[in-house]
Structure 1
């Protein structure tokens, strides 16, 4: 994997704000001609710095009016238990992020649901029946003050 120079970093900053920017416009903004800019962009993609391009949706507008973060503690950490739990979580579309964490919990998950009834259904009929769960603690999001997807670059 190659090192990032100042032009690469500038390209990444621009792409995080404006993923659909035309290569020619990107080239203009970073001070390159289109062909070298396109080569750099391809290298950034091939080297894994850019994992993909996607639209950022408004959760409420698409029917996910409730978000929650749920701390999960497993009853044991046997490889089979952890693997079964992780596999069950990763299949869930309403679980939009899963983090293995330190502290009093083992995992933190971010769930998006239509409403409180849907979250309750997920928690009682799905989450609490997943393998290995000892206990959970849910925090419902009241409002989103900041939700950046951009990675802070030096």
Structure 2
């Protein structure tokens, strides 16, 4: 990625609904060049999609938690099966398969702490492959909205 590609990606991360014409104007390039570059970034998989960010509180899901989960036996089938199961749950925002003492980190958002408890009891405590789980309530969540390439890393 060159500097122009990086600028296109940065602008689109900040404002995905910007028109091609406005983006080209901000970058000081022709709209045709901007469109060609943006399409190339999508085709190369640098830009994977566009989305609308939502406020979880407004969606009736103000309580967030990270769930640390251990599954056994550790096999591809168990990991893939659990990942498929948990990804389909409506409370789940993200699923991470991780190394270390835990096998999964699951980010959930629910209406209240009672619903978190119910979710854990109903969805996890009866699963045979789960040998241990812990929950950590999230007080604040800050995410970088713009991801840039690291200098010197290809």
TM-score past 0.5 threshold: yes
1:11 aligns with 2:45: no
* Whole-angstrom distance in 2 between the partners of 1:108 and 1:18: 29
**How far apart are the structure 1 equivalents of 2:93 and 2:66?**
10
CA distance in 2 between counterparts of 1:80 and 1:121 reads 27
Between 128-137 and 14-23, the greater mean CA deviation after superposition: 128-137
Q: How many residues align structurally?
A: 150
Deviation of 1:84 (Å)? 1.9
The DSSP-based 3-state class of the residue aligned with 1:60 is: coil
Alignment partner, residue 27 of structure 2: 30
* Alpha-carbon distance change, 63 to 27 in structure 1, aligned in 2, over 3 angstroms: same
Question: 1:147 matched to which residue of 2?
Answer: 143
Q: What is the alpha-carbon distance in structure 2 between the residues aligned to residue 73 and residue 98 of structure 1? A: 13
Aligned alpha-carbon RMSD (Å): 1.4
CA gap of 1:131–1:19, structure 2 versus 1, over 3 A, is: farther
Which residue is equivalent to 1:135? 132
In 2, Cα distance between equivalents of 1:148 and 1:129:
36
Instruction: List runs of 5+ in structure 1 lacking aligned partners.
Output: none
CA–CA distance in structure 2, aligned partners of residues 130 and 88 of structure 1: 10
> Is the Cα–Cα contact under 8 Å of residues 61 and 110 in structure 2 kept in the other structure?
yes
TM-score, length of structure 1 as denominator length? 0.91
- Equivalent residues in 2 for 1:39-78 (5 A)? 39-78=36-75
Q: When the two structures are superposed, what TM-score results if normalisation uses the length of structure 2?
A: 0.91
